[in-house]
Amino acid sequence: MKYIYNIITIVSIFFLISSCVSRNDSDNPLTPESLINTGTSKLYVNEVYAAGSPDWAEIYNDSDQPISIAGYYISDNFSEPLKQKINSGIVPSKGFLVIDLTAFGLSQQGEQILLSDSTGKAVNGFSFPAQTPEKSFGRFPDGSANLTFMKQTKGRPNDTTFFQPPVDVVINEIYALNPDWIELFNKGNSRVDLSDYYLSDDSTNLTKYKIPSGTFIEPRGFLVFEESQFGFGLSSSGEPVILSNRSANAVDKIIFGLQTAGKSEGRLPDGGQWNKDLTPTKNAPNRR
pLDDT tens digits, one per residue of 51-92:
888 999 999 999 999 999 999 999 999 999 999 999 999 999
The closest alpha carbon to 99, from 109, 89, 108, belongs to 89
* Confidence label for 2 from pLDDT (cuts 50, 70 and 90): very low
- Examine the pLDDT at 271 and tell me if it is beyond 60: yes
Share of residues in the chain with pLDDT > 90 (%): 65
pLDDT for 116: 94
167 or 171, which is more confident: 171
pLDDT tens digits, one per residue of 177-208:
989 999 999 999 988 889 889 999 998 889 99
Q: Are 51 and 81 in contact (CB under 8 A)?
A: no
Q: What is the pTM of this model?
A: 0.49
Q: Name every residue whose Cβ is closer than 8 Å to that of residue 206 and which is 6 or more positions away in sequence.
A: 198, 200, 242, 244, 248, 249, 250
- Examine the pLDDT at 158 and tell me if it is beyond 80: yes
pLDDT for 41: 66
Measure the N-to-C terminal CA separation of the chain; round to a whole number of Å.
Answer: 101
Average pLDDT over residues 195-224: 92
**Domains with residue ranges and CATH for the chain:** 35-161 (2.60.40), 164-278 (2.60.40.1260)
Cα 52 from Cα 100, distance rounded (Å): 9
Average pLDDT over residues 96-113: 94
